Structure 1
Amino acid sequence: MVNKLGLNIKKHPKPYDLQWLNDMGEMRVNYQVEVPIVIGKYEYEILCDVLPMKAGHILLGRPWQSDRRLLHDGFTNHHTFEFKRRKTTLVPLPPH
């Protein structure tokens, strides 16, 4: 995905190992990339760790959620936070 989007890879300042991603054992996280995301009027660049995967998802984890004081409604799966002094709610896509 990083190559297809033409994103610039940079070395990770503190490389680390992950084991839970596949059955192959540990994988080393050596690189990061800034990914621009646009969802409606919400535009931001997220710093992501890079690993080879057979998936095309971006996981917005706890640092992203905490930095934005995000509220998650587990029943509706809506994520609400303030962006540019306005309340913003991200909702899941409908099933295809």
Structure 2
Amino acid sequence: MVNKLGLNIKKHPKPYYLQWLNDEEEIRVKHQVEVPIVIGRYEDEILCDVLPMEAGHILLGRPWQSDRRVLHDGFTNHHTFEFKGKKTTLVPFPPHEVYLDQVGVFLIN
């Protein structure tokens, strides 16, 4: 995916090994890439570690939450933060939109 998107690969400042991705061997994480994302009006670049995988997801986890000083409301699952001087709130799809998205993806495959 990194190559297909033409993203610039950087050497990881602190390479490390992962075992949990497969049962066979450890995988050395030695590269990173900045991935541009757009969620509604929110546009950002997320620093991601590069690994060989069959599927790809960008997980906006602890590093992103810390870097952006994100406040998470565990009841509503809303993530609120300030970015480029504007308050932004990310909200999950309602269940019916998740269903429609899944059906649409299933029909395309």
Alignment match, 1:90: 90
Query: In the TM superposition, what is the alpha-carbon distance from 1:23 to its structure 2 partner?
Result: 2.3
Give the SS at the match of 1:67. Answer: helix
Bigger share in strand: 1
What is the TM-score with the length of structure 1 in the denominator?
A: 0.85
Unaligned runs of 5+ in 1: none
Higher normalized contact order (CA 8 Å, seq sep 6+, divided by chain length)? 1
Query: In the TM superposition, what is the alpha-carbon distance from 1:77 to its structure 2 partner?
Result: 2.2
Alignment match, 1:43: 43
- Structure with the greater alpha carbon radius of gyration: 2
Q: CA RMSD in A?
A: 1.6
Alignment match, 1:30: 30
The number of residue pairs the alignment matches comes to 96
In the alignment, the residues of structure 1 paired with residue 82 and residue 2 of structure 2 have an alpha-carbon distance, to the nearest angstrom, of 28
In the alignment, the residues of structure 2 paired with residue 12 and residue 54 of structure 1 have an alpha-carbon distance, to the nearest angstrom, of 21
Query: In the TM superposition, what is the alpha-carbon distance from 1:57 to its structure 2 partner?
Result: 0.5
Unaligned runs of 5+ in 2: 102-109
In the alignment, the residues of structure 1 paired with residue 8 and residue 27 of structure 2 have an alpha-carbon distance, to the nearest angstrom, of 21
Bigger share in helix: 2
Alignment match, 1:52: 52
In the alignment, the residues of structure 2 paired with residue 48 and residue 67 of structure 1 have an alpha-carbon distance, to the nearest angstrom, of 13
Letter in 1 for 2:38: V
Mapped pair 1:5 → 2:16: no
Give the SS at the match of 1:60. Answer: coil
Give the SS at the match of 2:52. Answer: coil
What is the TM-score with the length of structure 2 in the denominator?
A: 0.77
